[in-house]
Structure 1
Amino acid sequence: MRRHAVHSTSGSKEESVDGRSTTTLDVEEASSRSIAAVERAMDVLLLFGRSGRPDLGITEIATELNLTKAAVHRILTALRTRRLISADPTTRRYALGPAAVALGRAYLARTDLRLLAAPELRGLADECGETATLSVRRGDARLYVDQVVPAQELRIEVILGTPYPLHAGASSKAMLAFLSDGEIDGYLAQRELEALTAKTITQVDKLRRELAAIRKRGYAMSVGERQDGAVAVAAPVLDHDGVVIASLSVAGPQTRFRTRLGDCAPAVVAAATRLSAEFGYDPGA
């Protein structure tokens, strides 16, 4: 269909047959260009966040985002005016600025671990049909801070706030395994591996092998290592620096849950991964 322009008598605008004026079209095009510019600026900021490098150069940014150097320079200049990006005049490299750091701190300040973990705990308890728990580390110990129990007469219920050693039980081992090598060495050197049950791992070499296996598969399991008659599977929760801040677990009576530990493990790992993402952890960074 051919489109005909109708000129107004005042000559101030043209109107197409679909009723939109050229003025309206110009506004829409300008708006689209503005949105695209904002999206490119966000892409640049996000690149700094995920690169794992302290600073970036214009060429690196242009290459990774498939932008021209001129476009990157304009974006960086705009971000610098808002202190989202800072520049080193000597090296001509760029880094996140104080305003970006303030945004990150503001986000972390509003992240309540128990609040964010609550839907994951409910989901795990429903999916696995057993008790879901949240634990945090306190020095060389680990303690439960929340739980969701199933509607079953025979079930595991944990005591919130009681400290347990980092080598005994799934929740503890999930944390210990993902500490730095130096922290693990320090724990093993300074702590006696106390036996909480007859099945607690108390040999250093055996525990090191167990921790390596946990890191490889991404989760820990326990069969009566902290509490007789209880079994559990747990995975670590990591923050934006990859530091262990918590662990999620599902625990149940050994007579009912032992054969289903492996089946429940993927759900626990997935829940811990989602919770880690809430705290800025990026496994690909």
Structure 2
Amino acid sequence: MTIKSTAGRRPAPAADNAGTEAAARVADVLLLFTGGPRYLGVSAISRELGLSKAVVYRILQSLVSRDVLATDDGISGYRLGAAAAALGASALRRFDARTVATPVLRRLRDETSETTTLSGLVGDERVYLDQFESPREIKMTVELGRRFPLHAGSSGKVILAFLPEERRETLLHRPLDSLTDNTITDEATLRAALAEAIREGVAVSLGERQAGAGSVAAPLFGPGGEVQGSISICGPQYRFTPEVIEHYRALIRAAAEEIRTNWSWLRDRPGRD
């Protein structure tokens, strides 16, 4: 039997654990504002997170006092405040993927005359981080900052396909909610679509996340090789014929590889921490 000395080591104080839990609650409250209604009330947040109304109210008041959340006269509920907007803008400026993706996605928009987008993986969902709108009169635009499930649409599916197996399996065993009549909600069908995305390096959607919209997406891998988001070409579904989709597959694959290469260079350049 080996006896290990515990001299100099102390268990984490209860106060530390309580502080961690409190910080997690604040983060959970804030994350609710990245999707769903613009305004959220105490009762809705309490139900969603399983917290007492008293706890939720204290968190909300603390965030309001720091301008992270705000209220409007005559409207019941809370919304994101000026400080939250400043944090989001600062994060985007410092997000290397956006820096290297911007010229590539602009060029891709010009080549295709369709909207191009950048999505990021946030928890078990994804959000649009940027878009470059089509110059056409009839075009598709996306809502930046809103969270979407990974199984709905090409940008989410291609992220889901390249997640580590254990994490992907966990998500596949959760309920697959329908966003449109074409959303894949059958696990076997979704698995087949993910297998195709892995083979092709590209995912396609025809009305799966938004009715009447077509898109082709490729995964965006970080310098360490992990999937961190995706890029897409999207537009009205009627323009996404089989021939056009095949052409876009090649374009989006090449664009994703260019972004990955530039991202790695940006991280490894001299003088960068």
TM-score range, shorter chain: 0.5 to 0.7
Question: Counterpart in 1 of 2:218?
Answer: 235
Q: Deviations over 1:214-239 (max 9, x none)?
A: 00011000000000000000000111
1:162 aligns with 2:146: yes
Report the secondary structure of 1:246's partner residue. strand
Matched, 1:171 2:155: yes
Partners in 1 of 2:181 and 2:139 — Cα distance?
22
Structure 1: how far apart are the matches of 2:255 and 2:198? 17
Separation (CA, whole Å) in 2 of partners of 1:256 and 1:188? 31
Residues 1:265 and 2:260 are matched in the alignment: no
**What are the superposed Cα offsets for residues 11-30 of structure 1, whole Å, 9 maximum, x if unpaired?**
xxxxxxxxxxxxxxxxxxxx
Larger Rg: 1
SS of residue in 2 equivalent to 1:242: coil
What is the Cα deviation at residue 180 of structure 1?
1.2
Q: Is the 8 A contact 2:114 2:234 kept in 1?
A: yes
Separation of aligned partners in 2, 1:258 and 1:229 = 13
* 1:194-252 Cα distance to aligned partner (Å, 9 max, x none): 01011111111111111011000110000000000000000001112220011010001
Q: Which runs of 5+ in 2 are unaligned?
A: 1-92, 266-273
Matched letter for residue 241 of structure 1: G
Q: Deviations over 1:247-285 (max 9, x none)?
A: 01000101223341211111111010111122339xxxx
Letter of the structure 2 residue corresponding to residue 187 of structure 1? L
**What runs of 5+ residues in structure 1 fail to find an aligned partner?**
1-108
**What's the counterpart of residue 274 of structure 1?**
258
CA pair 153-243 structure 1, distance change in 2 beyond 3 A: same
- 1:237 is paired with a residue whose SS is strand
SS of 2:102 mapped into structure 1: helix
State the SS of the aligned residue for 1:279.
helix
TM-score, normalised to structure 1's length?
Answer: 0.58
Tell me if structure 1 keeps the 8 A contact 2:96–2:263: no
The match for 1:121 is: 105
Q: Is the 8 A contact 2:126 2:149 kept in 1?
A: yes
> For the Cα contact (< 8 Å) 1:223–1:258, is it kept in 2?
no
Query: Aligned letter for 1:276?
Result: R
Matches within 5 A, 1:137-216: 137-189=121-173, 191-216=174-199
User: What is the letter of the counterpart of residue 220 of structure 1?
Assistant: A
Give the percent of matched residue pairs that are identical in Structure 1 and Structure 2: 42
Is 2:247 aligned against 1:256?
no
- Cα distance in 1 for residues equivalent to 2:238 and 2:95: 37
Provide the aligned C-alpha RMSD in A. 1.7
SS at 1:145 equivalent: strand
d(CA) in 2 for partners of 1:138, 1:153: 32
Give the distance between the partners of 1:113 and 1:258, measured in 2 at CA.
30
| TM-score computed with the length of structure 2 as normaliser | 0.60
The one-letter code matched in structure 2 to 1:211 is L
The answer on whether the counterparts of 1:231 and 1:258 sit within 8 Å (CA) in structure 2 is no
**8 Å Cα contact 1:111/1:279 also seen in 2:** no
1:218 aligns with 2:188: no
Distance in 2, matches of 1:154 and 1:258, equals 16
2:228 paired residue number: 245
Amino acid at match of 1:121: L
